[in-house]
Structure formats: C-alpha cells, structure tokens
Amino acid sequence: MSSTSSIPSFGLGTFRLTGQPVIDSVRSALELGYRAIDTAQIYGNEADIGQAIAESGVARSELFLTTKIWVENYASGKLVSSLRESLEKLRTDQVDLTLIHWPAPGNGVELPEYMEALAEAKAQGLTRRIGISNFNIELTRQAIAAVGKDEIATNQIELSPYLQNAALTAFLKEQGIPVTSYMTLAYGKVLKDPVLAEIAAKHQATVAQVALAWALQLGYAVIPSSTRRENLASNLLASDLRLDAEDMAQIAALERNGREVSPEGLAPVWD
C-alpha cells in the first residue's frame, strides 16, 4: 500500500461503528488486506478495535493505527493520560498517528497548549506521528507555529467531489502537509451522481471507486468505512483505478461546497 509521506494512502474508517459491527468490519478489512485503521476517542470503539486486531492474528508491526484526541482531553494535564487510556483499549503501547480531532475554538484550551501536549505525547513514545483534523488555513498556521510543519503528519478534513476545499488543500500542499480525506462519499450522496455514474460505467467501476480514485489521484489518503465485506473489498480496488484528465475535470466541476459535518463549537470558520 503506497503512502503519503509514511501515511498509508488507503485505510478503514470506523466513525459511527461500535460493538459487533465494528469488530466485524475491522476483521473483514484485515482479512481483505487493509492495514490502516482510523478511530477516535469519541467514537467509543477503541476497545472493540483492539479486540478485533488481537483476534485477527495480524502483527501489530504491520498495522497503521490512528486515533484522535477528544475536546475534553485537550488540556496539558489530560491529553497524555487520555492517550494512554486509548492505547490500553487498543491493546498497544503506541499508535502510529494521533490527531487533534477538532480545533474547538473557545473551549478554554488554547491551541498552543494542546499542540504542545500532543508533541509531548510523541516525545513520550505514545504515538509515532502527530497531526490535526478539521483545521482551517489560519488554525493550521497556528499549529505550524506551535510545533513546526514537519511535525504535522496530516490534516484530516472532510473532502468529497461535492466539497473540494480548493483553498485549504492548496495551502496544505504548499506547506507539504499531507491531506487525509474523510467522508469522501459525502454520506453516500455522491453515489447517486449522474456524472460519476457515467465515469464509473466508462471504467467498468463503481461510483464509490471513482470518488475514492479521484481523491487518491489528487494525492489524498482516504479512509472509507463499510460494514459490508463486499463494499470493503470493492472500495480497496479504487487504488487500481486510473481516471483520465477528462474524468478529473468533470469531477472538479461537481464542487458545490456540500459540507456534511460542522458541529457548532467544534468547527472553525471554514475557508
């Protein structure tokens, strides 16, 4: 699996999945060859994922595990201990990547404090890499000022053919910060798109494969989720799909600023 400066380009998302559904999803994904798994403290599924990995027989050294620190754990006195709890649930002594989940402006913990606490978690060996999620340009600049841009392994942001985030992705590219795209299928909305359906038919692919291939070709990592084994297998094939310049131009024209996720109090002012 190719990587975006040591971040796997293709992983399994686990948002909204807990209990047996997430255990089954992770188990199937690992059997199919997925080696990157994305979770978060707020998903409430770290222990389930830890169990699925332990039962899979796949060596920890073969896996790339990402988790995200939840807002209530941002204070310097809490962040490191909260990550230790996550590691316990995941049954590992280190994750590969830890992200600040949302910038949460005005929640009482200033950005430099939580970025420095995150860097401290890395210094203690609890995480191999650190990064950010849902940060706009200005907040990414502040994160760079706090820890240095080489320390920021990715900015994980909502991106889909309907939300292409041109200004932010251009800025991240200029800074050399890799992009991870989440919700690349816009909660399934893009699956009904006639333009994408036409491109899919041309390549004898699925619409989901086309949307994922689009993101991969732009250099983004993707983390689609599914509880269905056939969809997990099918999504993985997006890595082999090559879209041509005309396909990419047609998808570029689908931009409609169709944001699906922007929780009040957590989200920044978007670019």
Residue 267 lies in a domain: no
Instruction: Kindly list the distances between the CA atom of residue 196 and the CA atoms of 20, 201, 227, in Å, as whole numbers in the listed order.
Output: 33, 9, 23
Stretch 207-228: mean pLDDT, rounded?
Answer: 97
Q: What are phi and psi of 161, to 5 degrees?
A: -55, -20
Helix (H, G, I), strand (E, B) or coil at 130: strand
Question: Per the domain annotation, does 264 fall within a domain?
Answer: no
Q: Are 174 and 144 in contact (CB under 8 A)?
A: no
Tens digits of per-residue pLDDT, 51-61? 999 999 999 99
Instruction: Please report, in range form, the residues annotated as the binding site.
Output: 101
User: What mean pLDDT comes out for the span 195-214?
Assistant: 98
User: Which are the contacts of 248, defined by CB distance < 8 A and separation ≥ 6?
Assistant: 214, 217
In a domain, 63, yes or no: yes
Q: What is the number of domains present in the chain? A: 1
CA 99 to chain CA centroid, Å, is 9
Report the SS3 class of residue 49. helix
Q: Taking 60 as the threshold, does the pLDDT of residue 139 lie above it? A: yes
Q: How far apart are CA 223 and CA 98, in angstroms?
A: 15
What one-letter code names the amino acid at 144? I
Neighbours of 250 (CB within 10 A): 17
Q: If residue 69 lies in a helix (H) or strand (E), which one and from where to where?
A: strand 64-69
Is there a domain that residue 266 lies in? no
Residue 260 forms part of a structural domain: no
Give the whole-angstrom CA distance, residue 104 versus residue 26. Answer: 29
pLDDT-based confidence at 5, cuts 50/70/90? low
Whether 258 is covered by a domain: the verdict is no
Residue-wise pLDDT tens digits, 151-163: 999 999 999 999 9
The reply to whether 50 falls in a domain is yes
* CATH number of the domain to which 39 belongs: 3.20.20.100
Which residues participate in catalysis according to the annotation? 43
Q: What local confidence, expressed as pLDDT, does residue 4 receive? A: 43
Distance CA 90, CA 81 (A): 14
Positions at the binding site for substrate? 101
CA-nearest of 221, 190, 257 to 97 is 221
Enclosing domain of residue 210: 3-252
Please name the residues in contact with 176: beta carbons below 8 A apart, sequence gap of 6 or more.
Answer: 149, 150
Q: Identify the band that residue 63 occupies on the pLDDT scale cut at 50, 70 and 90.
A: very high
CB atoms within 10 A of CB 96: 20
What integer is the mean pLDDT of 77-97? 98
